[in-house]
Structure 1
Amino acid sequence: MPNLSNTAPNVCMFACLSDNYGYLVHHAASNSTICIDSPDPSKILEKANSLGWTITHILNTHWHADHAGGNEKIQKETGCRILGPKEVNSRLNAPLDETLSGGETLEFGDLQIQVLATPGHTLEHISYYIPSHNIAFVGDTLFALGCGRMFEGQPEMFWNSLKTIRALPDETQIYCAHEYTLANLEFALSIDPENTDLRNYGTKLKELRAADKPTIPTNLGMEKLTNPFLRADNPVFANFLGMNRYASENVFAHIRKMKDNF
């Protein structure tokens, strides 16, 4: 259930499609309800209605259909305003009212949301960070113990995006778009078997999934210790992979290719 505080943004997270998460962020003070991406418009509208919230905005992270495919239906039902990278319209032909590219600050009353440029999964992928409450919605750039596939970007671009997210405070709660965690855990353990933090974290994650509970949000501080894709510049880890003489973006690319073939 969402936190029903009158001052803090209330995040409602719910499963949809096969492995996506839907997110509604309600800010009572500004009478705003923000939908992060639009993977399953019927489920999203149903959830908003059940909470008595009217969606006022959609913030898209990137153009893929399981992130922006519900824009039209939700806007038709609610009249909401849609913001996101231009690829949402140019690649998917989904409605978009305002283009974002990173560096903007969105204001909903006293709630500020920073837009971060995080390309790599797609060329114009962006993420949304609420600094006042240490919350980040990162789409398909970062997952619990993983990262998105590098469909369009280059290793240096994607690695820089991961460093952008990694630079946020350790307390940041990372809301990613998919429940891929156990598969990511299996891969992480295969290439980082001596990581005690990873093994301990993995035990907790398995317990959550065994109880049919989500592993999201994940804590950024823990991800910095355990996520192999955030540790490409860790000299001990790079040495374990036999890549201590390589640039960090090349280590990242190597790990990403290993995951693709895992």
Structure 2
Amino acid sequence: MTVEKEDELAGTEQPFVSHLIELRDRLLKAVYGLAVAVAALAIWPGASGLIDFLAQPIRAHMPVDAKLIAVGVFSPFFIPLKVLLMAAMLLALPWLLYQAWAFVAPGLYSHEKRFALPLIFFGSLLAYAGIAFVQLFVLDRMFAFIQAMTPASVAATPDIASYVEAILGLYIAFSLAFQVPIVVVLLVKVGMVTVEQLVTFRSYFIVVAFVVSALITPPDVVSMLALAIPMCLLYEIGIMATKLFIKPKRVEAETEA
């Protein structure tokens, strides 16, 4: 005789208006957190300091007195403001993700809640790691390669708008690519794949990683390898994490029973 497990979410339904009010409150809290991050970064290091920080990798491979140029009339104003807002979103990322989780948490089971917070923490950590990897490793080698391939008769003085757009694109690409372990763990957790299938798919993932890297990175070998190789390593880390932290469905069901 099997005993049906009582649904812990039974009777917790709320009216639609209550969900809208909760959504409004969470959005306001997210905006407040973002505003605090903007104010903090505006005080230090400031928009100009952020631009100087972003320009360091390419300035290291330019002549000493060379500077980035601003072609657009309003670029000297809007580009630092854009960088400030993007940096504030990055700084407030854990808070923003937490507000999203807090909104959906009432509709989650207890085991799902226990699984969500570590995902927010490690997801934010991996995003920061991807951006730091770009800033500290990829850009220096990428610009060294580009400058080495630049003819002597050409002065490489990029426009600040196109430069910031390219750097932010790399930040987003690497921060998303570094989420590979999270995606792998989630796929196993929801039962879409098994660890054995992930191991079998390893060789195909290597090909996918190099194709994706070639599509979303600049047309140079350095940045492509700098994205593809970490993706492959993170895929292996994801497989090891599933073996350590994800119970097989049969064992999990027996534990819950």
Q: Report if TM-score (shorter chain) is over 0.5.
A: no
Q: Name whichever structure is richer in strand by fraction.
A: 1
Normalised to the residue count of structure 1, the TM-score between the two structures is: 0.24
Structure number with bigger Rg: 2
Higher relative contact order (CA 8 A, sep 6+): 2
Larger helix proportion of the pair: 2
TM-score, structure 2 as length reference: 0.24
